Amino acid sequence: MTLRVVGAGLGRTGTMSLKLALEQLLDGRCYHMFDTSEEDGLTWLRAQREEPVDWDAFLAGYVATVDWPACDFWRPLAAANPDGIVLLSVRESADAWWKSADATIFQSLKRMHAQGPDAPWQAEFFATRLPLLTDEDTAKAYYEQHNADVRAHVPASRLLEYRAGDGWEPLCAALDVPVPDAPFPHANTTEDFLTRLQETEPE
């Protein structure tokens, strides 16, 4: 099984909703940050070290990827799946992305940094991302540069830029599948994320 969709959009760009939508459209599994096991983390760490990764074996059984960590490796994933579309999910602005990321995933990473990682691989994997947690300008520049890199290096015929709220039609057109007669999924809001974060707070 090969990837039909290589997700290049950063976290907090509607990726959980996209995961659910893509799984419905493609009748298969979509890899998201929440799927990352400790064993998977070691593979992502090898990829970050630029060590060889057998992407076909690693993501066997998946039809799509979205969110971190996969979005950081969109280049090798796109190369390994040349027939897949590259999905760049974005927010309406860098300011909107920062507001959402800072309220959710960055808070989670700050807690991990303060308390120590849940798994050994996390300390090294997230070390390069620590400046994003406290410097708004650095984080926004990272977001803008990441998106610009994707736009510059993916052929227009293969790239789908998708803004949260665009609904089914752009995805269905790019994948050549029918538009479902059902509402587009809406999941992992800021409120949902913060509720989960509070539930995992140490007593």
CATH number attached to the domain at 5-199: 3.40.50.300
* Domain ranges for the chain: 5-199
Six-digit token string for 67: 């969110």
- Provide the pLDDT confidence category of residue 190 given band limits of 50, 70 and 90: low
Measure Cα distances from 147 to 25, 78, 157 in Å.
25, 15, 17
Summarised one tens digit per residue, pLDDT across range 167-182 is 999 999 999 999 999 9
Mean pLDDT of all residues in 67-90? 97
CA distance 44 to 194: 25
pLDDT the model gives residue 21: 97
* pLDDT at 116 exceeding the cut of 80: no
Alpha carbons within 13 angstroms on the beta-carbon side of residue 109 total: 21
Report the range of poorest mean pLDDT among 18-27, 56-65, 71-80, 113-122.
113-122
Mean pLDDT of all residues in 132-144? 91
- Mean pLDDT over all residues of the chain? 90
pLDDT the model gives residue 203: 45
Name the burial class of residue 68, with classes exposed (0-12), middle (13-18) and buried (19+) by CB atoms within 10 angstroms of its CB.
buried
* pLDDT at 197 exceeding the cut of 60: no
pLDDT the model gives residue 1: 64
